[in-house]
Amino acid sequence: MRNFLRIGKIISLHGIKGEVKIFPTTDDIKRFDDLNKFYIVDNEDAKDSMFCDKPIYISEGVKYIKNTCILKIKGFDKIEDSTKLIGQNIYISRADAVKLEVNEYFIMDLIGLKCFKDDELIGNVKDIMTTKANSILVVDYDKKDLLIPMVSDFVEKVDIENSIIKIKTIEGLI
């Protein structure tokens, strides 16, 4: 389990005071309201070891425009300061992340889990699709995508520690 979570990507500058526009990779954009300290890393799949020498950045404020947020970062007061941040990713420590309810998971913790039906390995979770109704596991099954709704009718158990998901299926699903 990784200790740092990617919450957004800096996609452009905003205005002349060093603010940056963020494309959020979290399911609730308003979580940026509580953003205090964070890391900026150029890698979208950063490993925990990459953060030990990274500086910690501080948010001085956020506002929202459509599905993006405009972030003011402490010490970045001019366009010239912020230009080098475009394309970089914003990460937070897992300790600073929102607290999850029972049966809630971070998407990054689900990707890569082995998916079993009874004791038979079906495949690995390669992605999560989110819909208004529920999330859907995208499982790599026999070189095809098997879509499994993330609801109790199909998902019996999620065991992050052991990297497995146990599912039950209905006729025709597989």
Instruction: Identify the CATH number of the domain in which residue 116 sits.
Output: 2.30.30.240
Residue that terminates a domain, selected from 96, 124, 154: 96
What confidence score (pLDDT) does residue 8 get? 93
Domain count, the chain: 2
Give the chain's residues under pLDDT 70. Answer: 170-174
Among 71, 96, 121, residue at a domain's last position: 96
What pLDDT is stored for residue 172 in this prediction? 61
How far is the C-alpha of 119 from the C-alpha of 173, rounded, in Å?
Answer: 17
Helix and strand numbers (H, E) in the chain are 2, 12
- Structure confidence at residue 26 (pLDDT): 85
pLDDT of residue 114: 95
Q: Do residues 12 and 87 both lie within one domain?
A: yes
Look at the block and give the residue holding tokens 């389990």.
1
Domain co-membership, 89 together with 14: yes
Q: What is the pLDDT of residue 158?
A: 93
- pTM for the full predicted model: 0.78
pLDDT at 43: 80
Same domain, 145 and 69: no
91 with 119, same domain: the answer is no
Show the domain range for 133: 107-167
State residue 125's pLDDT score.
94
Q: Do 80 and 117 sit in the same domain of this protein?
A: no
